[in-house]
Amino acid sequence: MSRKSPFLLAFLWSGAALADGAPFMDADFTRRSADNDPDLIVVREGYDPERRVQSLYLRAHDGTPDVQVFSGVLRVRGAVVDEVIFAADDLAASDARWGLPDADYGPGDGRGLEGNDPTTAVPRQRRDVDAVRRPNAATVRFWFSTGADVDDLRVLVRYDREPGPASLDVELFRPHGDTDPLGFPPTDQGGVQVGSLTDATPDDGDYSEVFAVESIKLRIEDVDLVEETVDLGAIPLGGGIAGPAFVAVDNGAGGLDLDQDNGFDQNGLISPIPAVSDLEHLRWSAGPLTDERGNVVSASRVRLANAPVRLPVGQMASVRVTIEVGPATPPGRYEGRLTVWEDNDGDRLRARSEPQDEALLVVRVGDVLDAAVAPDGGAGDGGARDGGVADGGGGPGPADGGAPGDGGSIDAAPGDSGTGADGGGAPADGGGTPGRDGGQASADAGEAAFDLGDARGGALGCRAAEGGGPLLLLPLALAYLRRRRAS
């Protein structure tokens, strides 16, 4: 088996501890911006796991009588807006439930939005009338006109019953450029601060003179196969069982994003961003193995044992792989794809938003045996990341049981009635262009191939903070990622 590069272990996450499955929460925030250089302060606050609700907090405040205007929009992906709190008394009362622990939000007087009804108010330049709108389920439109007072609101967002990755965009309408669809007076000058000014949580910090920050991370899921290639070894003409070989499936073990597909911190030295969520609906699929002449070993002959359906964050499991080669199989080197993904929507098909990864399955048949040299000491050696769990001796079992035994159906999702590795509408051959989520687009099963393209997000007009430490390894990480995607 080939191994993923061990230098990725040099990337360590120094962020605050999080409960399994919880979204990111900021460590603290600065109550007041510097005079004449005000920022819109955005804070990822508390989370209620029973309701799957999190608070997002927006504040404009520099403590001086000169009027500053912030006109903008907040958008969430992977969640919907559940409630908006903007009255001073309601904000003060909700600090205890949703606010960051030990944070000082200041007195209730002077907070909130001014005006009889901010939900219907029409802003005018330099007037103490604020506005808030909810144009759709995932968007909050705000207009703050603040002097020495505090303009703030609390947005409660609700994650789906089976949530996946989620993020937040903040956009300010600028004096010359972006057209405000509501025609409100524009922002005086740009500036966004996310959470703490020190690097404590992914994407936090001062973004300075910008008018938009995209894809501030809220919640991350990730699944990685440690091995890029699973070599099942060689088998003579006449058929038989090839393997076993072992592949390790990983959910952020050691606080790492193994293949860096979660993105990089946009404003600091946390790189790459780790997973924070349990995986509860893993689904497995193999494609047919073909040689260069087009001969095929059916995907239905691939067998997995100990393939987990659940994998808590921070854990890794070892999966045993075998393949039955039929007696009439022509000689050759056969390759196919093994895919795992988190099936959040339960449709048994991979989607763009669902974390996924794949490995190359290889088996050699017949007269190619003499020339075959198995990498890393031969098939089934359990080669894994830095001496990981896939040790050829079975390794740890699935995190929560409930996996098919050797010889059973490869599709390990609960309630699945498919009989083959590529049945039931799951992706079969892994064709298409590699996506950034570690998986490869399906070319059959009725699902159109997709290409996620370049990384989305980054602060518009910003650069990551300069500095030493893990950031110095960024060019190596990007080069490795390009090599992996090209393989």
Residue 335: pLDDT above 70? yes
- Which pLDDT value is given to residue 10? 33
What are the phi and psi torsion angles at 93 (to 5°)?
Answer: -70, -30
Domain boundaries, the chain: 20-219, 222-486
* Residue 178: per-residue pLDDT: 61
Q: Which residue has the tokens 């059959």?
A: 444
> Could you tell me the sign of the dihedral formed by the alpha carbons of 327, 333, 334, 340, in that order?
positive
Report the top-level CATH class of 20-219: mainly beta
Query: Where is pLDDT greater, at 250 or 398?
Result: 250
Same fold, 20-219 and 222-486: yes
Q: Which one has a higher pLDDT value, 322 or 174?
A: 322
Q: pLDDT class for 392, splitting at 50, 70, 90?
A: very low
Read off the pLDDT of residues 410-426 as tens digits, 9 standing for 90 and up.
544 333 333 333 333 33
222-486 has which CATH code? 2.60.40.10
Measured distance CA(476)–CA(7) in Å, rounded: 9
Quick one: pLDDT at residue 403?
A: 37
pLDDT at 179: 67
- Give pLDDT tens digits for 137-166: 999 999 888 777 888 999 999 998 777 789
pTM of the model: 0.71
Structure confidence at residue 369 (pLDDT): 56
What's the rounded mean pLDDT across residues 88-109? 88
Q: Which amino acid is at 429?
A: D
Supply the pLDDT for residue 327: 93
Contact between 187 and 165 (Cβ < 8 Å)? no
pLDDT at 126: 62
pLDDT of amino acid 262:
86
Predicted local distance difference test score (pLDDT) of residue 320: 97
Q: What is the pLDDT of residues 255-272, one digit of tens each?
A: 888 888 888 898 888 888
- 53-60/68-77 β-pairing: unpaired
So what's the pLDDT on residue 136? 94
Residue by residue, DSSP assigns 37-80 as: B--EEEEEEEEETTTTEEEEEEEE--SSSS-EEEEEEEEEESEE
Which of 160, 208, 204 is closest to 24 using CA atoms? 204
Lowest mean pLDDT among 3-7, 242-246, 340-344: 3-7
For residue 66, how far is the Cα from the chain centroid? 41
Q: What are phi and psi of 376, to 5 degrees?
A: 60, 35
The β-bridge relationship of strands 166-172 and 212-219 is antiparallel
**Cα 43–Cα 46–Cα 47 angle in degrees, nearest 5:** 125
Residue 380 pLDDT more than 80?
Answer: no
340, pLDDT greater than 70? yes
With a pLDDT cut of 70, the percent of the chain lying above it is 68
Of the candidates 214, 427, 421, which has an alpha carbon nearest to the alpha carbon of residue 307?
Answer: 421
pLDDT, position 446: 32
Residue 481 is predicted with a pLDDT of 45
Q: What is the pLDDT of residues 435-472, one digit of tens each?
A: 333 333 333 333 333 232 333 233 333 333 333 334 33
The whole-angstrom separation of Cα 5 and Cα 56 is 37
Mean pLDDT of the chain: 74
Mean pLDDT of 383-409: 36
Question: Which residues contact residue 306 at a Cβ distance below 8 angstroms, ignoring those fewer than 6 apart?
Answer: 317, 318, 319, 320, 394, 395, 397, 398, 403
The continuous run of DSSP H or E covering 467 comes out as none
Match 């073909």 to its residue by tokens.
Answer: 290
In this predicted structure, the answer to whether residue 336 has a pLDDT above a threshold of 80 is yes
Residue 367's pLDDT band, with cuts at 50, 70 and 90, is: low
State mean pLDDT over 118-141.
85
pLDDT of residue 189: 77
pLDDT score recorded for residue 20: 55
Strands (E), 326-384: 332-342, 356-365
pLDDT-based confidence at 345, cuts 50/70/90?
confident
Summarize pLDDT for 4-24 with one digit per residue, the tens: 443 333 333 333 444 457 899
Specify the higher pLDDT residue, 126 or 169. Answer: 169
DSSP lists the bridge partners of residue 151 as: 60
Per-residue model confidence as pLDDT tens digits over 169-216:
999 887 766 667 777 777 777 789 999 888 889 999 988 888 889 999
State yes or no: pLDDT of 384 exceeds 70: no
Pairwise CA distance, residues 194 & 219, whole Å = 15
Backbone dihedral region for residue 275 (phi beyond 0: left; psi -120 to 50: alpha; all else: beta): beta
Rounded to an integer, the average pLDDT of 226-247 is 94
Q: What is the pLDDT of residue 263?
A: 85
Pairwise CA distance, residues 380 & 391, whole Å: 9
pLDDT at 332: 95
Q: Which carries the bigger pLDDT value, residue 140 or residue 65?
A: 140
